[in-house]
Amino acid sequence: MKIVVLDGYAANPGDLSWDEVKSLGECVIYDRTAPDELLERAAGAEIVLTNKVEISAVTMEALPELKYIGVMATGYNIVDVAAAKERGVIVTNIPAYSTNSVAQMVFAHILNITQQVQYHSEKVRQGKWTHCKDFCFWDTPLVELQGKKIGIVGLGHTGYATACIALGFGMEVYAYTSKPFYKLPLGINKMSLLDELFSECDVISLNCPLTDTTREMVNAKRLKLMKPTAILINTGRGQLVNEQDLADALNNGTIYAAGLDVLSQEPPQAGHPLLTARNCYITPHIAWASTAARERLMQILVKNLKGYIEGNVINNVAR
């Protein structure tokens, strides 16, 4: 059985082991695969593992021996799942492996923005504290989270973990979710209208999947509903946000700040409007990438493969 890993570097740049995957068959691992290399590299493979390399219906048709596509991530929009189902190709994903790491990044951004940690650290390095007349200095607002309202869009694993951290800070937690209010955990309040969530909350955290209904859910109209002191956090998908509208809102002072771990194009092109937007803090899609999270990813990846080989498929999203 031939196994091909198309883009293994992001999940395992060398600090983890592929040995368990290699033990399951003839295994070829590529760090990265360009679109024009895909068919040649995947030829003859029964199992293809991908992180961000897209696999379309046309690709599947050109790979008649393909029986299993393992997405090395939670989101699986890179695979034409409908075409896979039609062809009887199993598609698995890796759910919930990065829940705690992503929730941690949500608050890394929130704390950086409210306490201006990076900014003041840089000022200390520049000598401002050394030459200060007082024992301390700050020249930006410092915001306490106690009593602030956080609105969480999507109350899945990551949204819930984010809510728990927020409760620990004494924040009021509101969620826009399909779950009925009586099923929400204690301390989490349901808001039925997304516009209401955006207008009333001090912090908005996007923790929902990308779908046709959530694409560009954050746009100029919705940003105008937010408080001028509000903070937007996106650790979900870049396409949840109209990025030009967000850049305009930041530059115009419509909202205070944004903390983003994802963009619609990754890596972004030079000149992307958010790279220079006022009070916009961007990390390079690393919320998922803690060592602990990637170890879990590899463990679940192996479980998925063993389940398929043993005829007990798990985490199949092409049912």
pLDDT in tens, 88-120: 999 999 999 999 999 999 999 999 999 999 999
Does one domain contain both 140 and 232?
yes
Do 68 and 47 meet the contact criterion of CB atoms below 8 Å apart? Answer: yes
Per-residue pLDDT, 282: 98
d(CA 214, CA 191): 16
Q: Cα separation of 249 and 243, whole Å?
A: 10
Q: Say whether both 298 and 169 belong to one domain.
A: no
Q: How many domains does the chain have?
A: 2
Same domain, 68 and 114: no
Task: Check which CATH number belongs to the domain holding 81 and give it.
Answer: 3.40.50.720
The verdict on 148 and 26 lying in the same domain is no
Identify whether residues 182 and 304 lie together within a single domain. no
Residue 143 included in any domain: yes
> Is 319 within a domain?
no
Residues 104 and 93 in one domain: no
Q: Mean pLDDT in runs of 10 for the chain (319 residues)?
A: 97 97 97 98 98 97 98 94 97 96 98 97 96 94 97 96 98 95 93 97 96 96 98 97 98 98 96 98 98 98 98 95
Q: Are residues 86 and 195 in the same domain?
A: no
Q: What is the predicted pLDDT for the residue at 56?
A: 97
Same domain, 188 and 157: yes
Dmax (CA) for the chain in angstroms is: 74
Residues acting as catalytic residues: 237, 266, 285
Same domain, 76 and 179: no
Q: Give a yes or no: residue 255 inside a domain.
A: yes
The DSSP symbol for 274 reads G
Q: Examine the domain organization and report whether 24 and 169 are in the same domain.
A: no
Residue 316 lies in a domain: no
Evaluate whether residue 237 is within a structural domain.
Answer: yes
Task: Give me the helices (H) in the chain, please.
Answer: 19-22, 38-42, 57-61, 81-87, 99-115, 117-125, 157-168, 194-200, 220-223, 243-252, 291-309
Residue 83: give the domain boundaries. 2-97+291-309
Residue 315, domain member (yes or no): no
Regarding whether 158 and 141 lie in a shared domain, the answer is: yes
The pLDDT assigned to 319 comes to 87
On whether residue 77 sits in a domain, the answer given is yes
Same domain for 258 and 119: yes
- pLDDT tens by residue, 176-207: 999 988 889 999 999 999 999 999 999 999 99
Residue 251 identity: N
